[in-house]
């Protein structure tokens, strides 16, 4: 059972990394140091919204699997 949880956790971790990398950051290197003059967008739309929700869901699944791995 522990091995199955470990394999599932690895798959979820890879998916989480992919989803995070797919998100459009909107801030380049210059923006990290305050050089960006773009307005901050608070509303997410379309694919960006789906990626945001997928990140939350995958994060929760990863945490649940981590706690299950500790308890078992």
Q: What is the pLDDT of residues 39-59, one digit of tens each?
A: 566 666 788 889 999 999 999
Helix/strand number for the chain, H first, E second: 3, 0
Q: How many domains does the chain have?
A: 1
Best CA proximity match to 24, nearest among 57, 46, 1: 46
C-alpha to C-alpha distances, 34 to 14, 29, 43, nearest whole angstrom: 31, 9, 21
Q: CA nearest 8: which of 68, 72, 48?
A: 68
- The residue segments making up the domain with residue 63 are 2-23+43-71
Q: Would you say residue 11 lies in a domain?
A: yes
Summarize pLDDT for 4-35 with one digit per residue, the tens.
Answer: 999 999 999 999 999 999 886 644 444 445 55
Instruction: Give a yes or no: residue 33 inside a domain.
Output: no
């Amino acid at each position: 059972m522990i091995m199955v949880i470990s394999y599932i956790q690895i798959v979820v971790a890879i998916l989480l990394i992919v989803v995070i990398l797919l998100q459009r950051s909107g801030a380049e290197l210059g923006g990290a140091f305050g050089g960006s003059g773009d307005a901050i967008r608070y509303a997410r739309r379309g694919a960006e919204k789906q990626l945001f929700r997928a990140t939350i869901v995958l994060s929760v699944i990863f945490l649940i699997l981590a706690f299950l791995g500790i308890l078992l």
